[in-house]
Amino acid sequence: MDEKMNELKVDREDYKKVMYRYLILLSIGINIVGAQAVPILNFPAFLDAVGTIFSAVVMGPIIGAGVGLVTNIALGFLVDPGYFYFAGVNILIGVTTGYIFKEHPFNLKSVFVASIFISVIASIVGNTISYMAFGGVAGEQLDRITFLLVERGIDLFVSVNISGFFANLLDKVLSFVIVFCIMVLIDRNLKVNEFNIRWK
């Protein structure tokens, strides 16, 4: 009896390790695809943290932060060195998301509150980096909004924060909606009880 229990325990641990590896790679891939899709869609958002949020919800803040870091390093080498500067933002998103859903259930109410809270944090940090490192330049769609505000007499720093906040809010709401849909699919097809996700 004890041997069978030990075998089951080992099988569960092996399953969990394998799933972690696949989900980490999937999360990084989702981030990279999302970041590349934005300029093609000409959309005023980022979508480079969908996988970070997903991994943080499923596997916790440390892995979420790691996914965010690896994503920005990969995008920095493959796409644009500017991504290196914003690695801290993606890490912060992973840590914050992971701790929120470690303490609170994953439902529509908590997702809505988390998306607003994280968008504020990401906006403050990201906008400051954008202003200090790039003079407020953050991407074609965001730059148009920023320059429009500047032309109307609003200070550059304030304009960067206004456009950045609304872009981050839209981005995080969309990201959480995507993650919520992914989580529903996972709940139907995988052993989510292995990941200690609270749904209620």
As a whole number, the mean pLDDT across the chain is 87
- The span from the CA of 100 to the CA of 115, in Å, is 11
Higher-confidence position of 146 and 49 = 49
Q: For the full predicted model, state whether its pTM sits above 0.85.
A: yes
Give a yes or no: residue 150 inside a domain. yes
Nearest to 138 by CA among 85, 94, 75, 70: 85
- CATH code, domain carrying 35: 1.10.1760.20
pLDDT over threshold 80, residue 199: no
CB atoms within 10 A of CB 11: 10
What is the band of 125 on the pLDDT scale with cuts at 50, 70, 90? very high
What is the band of 43 on the pLDDT scale with cuts at 50, 70, 90? confident
- The span from the CA of 63 to the CA of 94, in Å, is 8
Give a yes or no: residue 200 inside a domain. no
Residue 96: what pLDDT? 98
Give a yes or no: residue 60 inside a domain. yes
What is the band of 145 on the pLDDT scale with cuts at 50, 70, 90? confident
Angle of CA points 126, 175, 161, to nearest 5°: 25
Residue 56: what pLDDT? 97
Percent of the chain with pLDDT over 90: 55
What is the band of 100 on the pLDDT scale with cuts at 50, 70, 90? very high
pLDDT over threshold 80, residue 149: yes
Give a yes or no: residue 59 inside a domain. yes
Give a yes or no: residue 157 inside a domain. yes
How many structural domains compose the chain? 1
DSSP 105-135: --SHHHHHHHHHHHHHHHHHHHHHHHHHHHT
DSSP 30-65: HHHHHHHHHHHHT-SS---SHHHHHHHHHH-HHHHH
Give a yes or no: residue 37 inside a domain. yes
Give a yes or no: residue 136 inside a domain. yes
Give a yes or no: residue 25 inside a domain. yes
Cβ(178)–Cβ(46) below 8 Å: no
| Residue-number span of the structural domain to which 10 is assigned | 2-195
